[in-house]
Amino acid sequence: MLHIYNTLTRTKEPFTPHDPSHVRMYVCGITVYDYCHVGHARMFVVFDVAQRWLRQRFERVTYVRNITDIDDKIIKRAVERKITIGSLTDEFIAAMHEDARALEVELPDEEPRATHYVPQMLGLIGKLQDRGLAYQAEGGDMNFAVRQFPGYGKLSGKTLDELRAGERVALADGKRDPLDFVLWKSAKADEPEQAKWSSPYGVGRPGWHIECSAMATSLLGERIDLHGGGMDLQFPHHENEIAQSEGANPHAVPFSRTWMHNGFVRVDNEKMSKSLGNFFTIREVIEQFDPQVLRMFIVRAHYRSPLNYSDTHLEDARVALLRLYTALNAGTQATDFDGADFEKRFSEAMDDDFNTPIALAVLFDLATEINRSHSLQAAGLLRRLAATLGLLQHDAAEAVKTGLIGKGRVPQGGDDASAIDALVEERKLAKASKDFAKADLIRKELLAQGIVLEDSAQGTTWRRQ
């Protein structure tokens, strides 16, 4: 039986959807004003793996992942570039889809855009106002009255007084309490017309938090089974989603039974983010490495663990993935092969809170068996199990031939001496560890770029042809 760590209860517990045959899953997507970075890639891959496994375990899964296509950052970027908000968001939605396809991320069943659900957001705000949970401030904003919702803080585990003690935002625009958050923002005179909607509360636009509550309940109903997103969304975004969704619901049912959060991607012990300027876009990474390598890098860590980004770790992932592809190539003979134990161990790992590192260990054990027996059946099982993780999607022979490198790793013509030196050193380490297949692959890789290696007792040198 599948168990998932539930952020709401802080325990790993059996996953039991309200309808045993139908899982309703909502994941917070990205705000589209720039290219996706590796932190976004982790979210895409983590929940792609989750939905793939859920589809194997349950008869039906409805997976919704939203797009935020209106907010302050989007407006600012569109104004800076002197284009419409729609032009900006269309551009980066298309780029997001390109990046996701490169990573073998399957499309969700529904991908709602926030701007298409403004009427539903206004309806939700109206219900909150009727129930005494929303009020209009002097400046025109509609705010959620946090202290009027008894369950606030249950996801973060903090009391209102603890949250209030840590609050450093001064009261502004008529807020009654610093913890209150905006549901509807009154329009500013200098904002583009595309950022303004008519409403009973005046011309304005929705707050960020109300967007997901409206889209989730509109597409999945008042009770969903699994809500996911990055760990940074736990508070305040998901806390606020609970307050809005449950506050507007007269039946007092939980908004989501299970809450699942993936850990941060870190660079030099800091979270990778655009605000810190320490991010690497997916496009930059796959210039150096095949997109499957980035996916392998992500699934090698448990989704709740921090993931430390570096070229060294990506290189480790590349070498590990090549081992699996090399094993697929070795499966050449029909044999008597019983893969039941491998399948059982793989399923147990995935049922244990999507434990992809353990699942990968099973794949490497299976690869060892293939290298020993050359079993075609074992190779078929390896490819099938790996597909659950979105791996081994390429032709095996071609993957081994290319070495899973990106087009930018060794420039055409061999103009980057430091990159060549790095590959020569990598080959040296491979030979020292008796990984002669890898060493030969690097030699061929360089030769294809016009770089000839010359080995001698003194070491290895290189020259251009």
> How confident is the model over 287-345, as pLDDT tens digits?
999 999 999 999 999 999 999 998 899 999 999 999 999 999 998 899 899 999 999 99
In angstroms, the Cα distances linking 272 to 59, 67, 280, 307 are: 37, 20, 8, 10
pLDDT of 264 over the 90 cut: yes
Q: Please count the CA atoms within 13 angstroms of the CA of 301 that sit on its side-chain side.
A: 23
For the entire predicted model, the pTM comes to: 0.86
CATH 1.20.120.640 fits 289-402, yes or no: yes
What is the β-pairing status of strands 22-27 and 60-65?
parallel
Angle at 67 between CA 163 and CA 255, to 5 degrees: 50
Q: How far apart are the first and last CA of the chain?
A: 59
Q: What are the backbone dihedrals phi and psi of residue 203, each rounded to the nearest 5 degrees, phi first?
A: -70, 135
Maximum mean pLDDT: which of 69-83, 164-178, 402-416, 432-446: 69-83
Query: At CA 145, angle to CA 117 and CA 209, rounded to 5?
Result: 30
Give yes or no for residue 167 having a pLDDT over 60. Answer: no
Q: Is the pLDDT assigned to residue 415 strictly greater than 90?
A: no
Q: Cβ(138)–Cβ(175) under 8 Å?
A: no
Q: Is the pLDDT of residue 106 over 90?
A: yes
Sheet with 22-27, edge to edge strand ranges: 60-65, 22-27, 224-230, 256-262
Q: How far is CA 411 from CA 69, 254, 400, 406, 408, in A?
A: 37, 55, 20, 10, 6
Candidates 3.60.21.10, 3.40.50.800, 3.40.50.620, 3.30.1370.60; CATH matching 3-136+208-267:
3.40.50.620
253 pLDDT tier (thresholds 50, 70, 90): confident
Asked whether the predicted pLDDT for residue 374 surpasses 50, the reply is yes
At 414, the pLDDT band (50, 70, 90 cuts) reads very low
Please state, in angstroms and rounded to a whole number, the distance separating the CA atoms of residues 425 and 438: 12
Q: What pLDDT sits at residue 214?
A: 98
Distance CA 83, CA 81 (A): 6
pLDDT of 436 higher than 90: no
Q: Quickly state the pLDDT bin for 25 (edges 50, 70, 90).
A: very high
Place 411 in a pLDDT band, splitting at 50, 70 and 90: very low
Task: For the chain, give the percent of residues with pLDDT over 70.
Answer: 92
Q: What is the mean pLDDT of residues 84-113?
A: 97
Give whole-number Cα distances, 183 to 111, 125, 441, in Å: 22, 7, 57
Who has greater pLDDT, 49 or 408? 49
- The tens digit of pLDDT for each residue in 124-138 reads 999 999 999 999 998
Mean pLDDT along residues 144-166: 87
- Residue 402: the pLDDT is 87
Sole residue written with tokens 């490497």 = 364
The whole-number average pLDDT for the span 352-356 is: 98
Let me know: does 392 contact 295? Beta carbons within 8 Å: no
Percent of the chain with pLDDT over 90: 74
Task: Inform me whether the pLDDT recorded for 208 exceeds 90.
Answer: yes
- Per-residue pLDDT, averaged over 48-75, amounts to 97
Is the confidence at residue 278, as pLDDT, over 90?
no
410-426: average pLDDT: 62
Predicted confidence band at 165 (pLDDT cuts at 50, 70, 90)? low
pLDDT surpassing 90 at residue 416: no
User: How confident is the model at residue 365, as a pLDDT?
Assistant: 97
